[in-house]
Amino acid sequence: MNTPSPLSHAEVEKIRREFPILQRKTASGAKLSFLDNAASTQRPTSVIDAMSECYLRYYANVHRGIHTLSEETTAAYEEARKTLANFINASSVQEVIFTAGATASINTVARTWGDQNLSEGDVILTTIAEHHANIVPWHQLAERTGCKVIFLPIEDDFTFSTDLVKEYLERFRPKLFAFTAASNVLGTKPPVARWISLARSVDAITLVDGSQAAPHETLDVQQLDADFVVFSGHKMCGPTGIGILYGKQQLLDSMPPFLGGGGMIQRVSVEGFETAELPDKFEAGTPPIAEAIGIAAAADYLTRIGLDRIAQHEHTLCQIADSGLRLIDDVEVIGPHPCDKGGIVSFSLNSVHAHDIAHQLDSLGIAVRAGHHCTMPLHRAMKKTSTTRASFYLYNTPEEAEQFVSAIEAVQNKFAKTGRRRRSR
């Protein structure tokens, strides 16, 4: 396997010029250093232009008109579906459903496959590191059906034991194993294909939350053999309000529609209705048209640069930040070694609340996330009320990673009662 060539300094600078928002200054007058990419990324001009062109030149509702604008918009919308199918290597465009986001995608599975297939005593297995979007829908499903949600614990080194995964799968025989491809707090990346194979051995259906993976690495759904994969547009340089639900065609065909209305029907009568074929069956109402065009433009943009090169670049930045933070007194890095995680560095600083840290960094133009990051069960398991998270992307630089470490050292010095300094190397 060939190692991808790293993004050069000149390439990163070129990339940065393609993101207009990165040229602005913050309210404090400082130059913006955007390190909140795990929450949502910024958009390049190619995505902005693709969506603007739709609104400026050919927008109309899709699938319902025989006039020129409708036909052009329908063609662009369905071409976007093809782009996303290629992006994840789906075997058919019918397996790619446009939703309002990853959360909507998971809820669709819970309300369709879940309601149809789970009952009292059945088990859903997930991990303690999941985003609330991959927890709450299963709790709701448990309330409706009487099934149980069981959580895999985390190891002391912030990773998951595959041996324990195997043990839980064999002991509880879950109907569904739903897990993240990368933790939005720890950065931990489990062996997704291995876990899916283990789940298959006990006849469990798998759902992979790829929200923190799709923007950074290739998600080949056929190679992974996942039953369902979900991800969102706004974390991969695309617009908000759109996500992808991938499902194996046989599964999607067997599932009832979640939302009813226009677009998802073949015919309607006073006696009832007949659903449309895939993918229309799960896309009731007017879909996110310009957003679909935008997420396709984002997928094209990331593909042109190379997801493997993006991941390598983020790894470099993560190493700088992670190693730097571990040298600062009273800083506890929350996550595994950089070799075992994506471009996320979460930490806590003794005696300083995460919100105070984020506020101090904002005064320097550095945007980070503070709080529980929609992972309250994980934070409780770690005995943390909150953490601070810096998350890197293709447009961030080594200088920004170093500036971030220096800023945390300054915050530590400001708040520390003893005035202790950074530990010597």
CATH number of the CATH domain containing 240: 3.40.640.10
- pLDDT tens string 76-134: 999 999 999 999 999 999 999 999 999 999 999 999 999 999 999 999 999 999 999 99
Q: How many residues does the chain have?
A: 425
Q: Which of 304, 333, 368 is the last residue of a domain?
A: 304
Mark whether 17 and 146 lie in a shared domain.
no
Distance of CA 299 to the CA centre of its chain: 14
**Domain hosting residue 221, numbered range:** 48-304
Q: 40 in a domain, yes or no?
A: no
What is the distance between the terminal CA atoms of the chain, rounded to a whole angstrom?
35
pLDDT of residue 422: 41
Establish if 36 belongs to a structural domain.
Answer: no
326/300 same-domain check: no
Residues assigned a catalytic role: 374
Residue type, 415: F
Residues 202 and 287 grouped into a single domain: yes
In a domain, 389, yes or no: yes
Q: Where are the beta strands (DSSP E) in 139-189?
A: 148-152, 176-180
Looking at the structure of the chain, the number of domains it has is: 2
Q: Is 422 within the bounds of a domain?
A: no
Helix (H) / strand (E) containing 250: helix 249-254
Do 266 and 370 fall into the same domain? no
Q: Do both 327 and 300 map to the same domain?
A: no
Whether 207 and 158 share a structural domain? yes
Residues 227 and 285 both lie in one domain? yes
341: CATH: 3.90.1150.10
Coil, strand or helix: which one is 169? helix
The answer on 366 and 219 residing in a single domain is no
User: What span, in angstroms and rounded, lies between the C-alpha atoms of 255 and 278?
Assistant: 11
Residues 266 and 149 in one domain: yes
- Pull the structure tokens for residue 264: 């998802």
Q: Is the pTM of this model over 0.85?
A: yes
**Contacts (Cβ under 8 Å, ≥6 apart) of 97:** 105, 108, 244, 245, 246, 247, 252, 278, 279, 282, 283
Same domain? 356 vs 317: yes
pLDDT in tens, 215-273: 999 999 999 999 999 999 999 999 999 999 999 999 999 999 999 999 999 999 999 99
**Would residue 43 count as lying in a domain?**
no
* CA quadruple 103, 108, 111, 116: dihedral sign: negative
Whether residue 128 sits in one domain with residue 269: yes
In a domain? residue 250:
yes
Q: Are residues 296 and 373 in the same domain?
A: no
Residues in the chain where the model's pLDDT stays below 50: 418-425
How many other C-beta atoms lie within 10 A of the C-beta of residue 367? 17
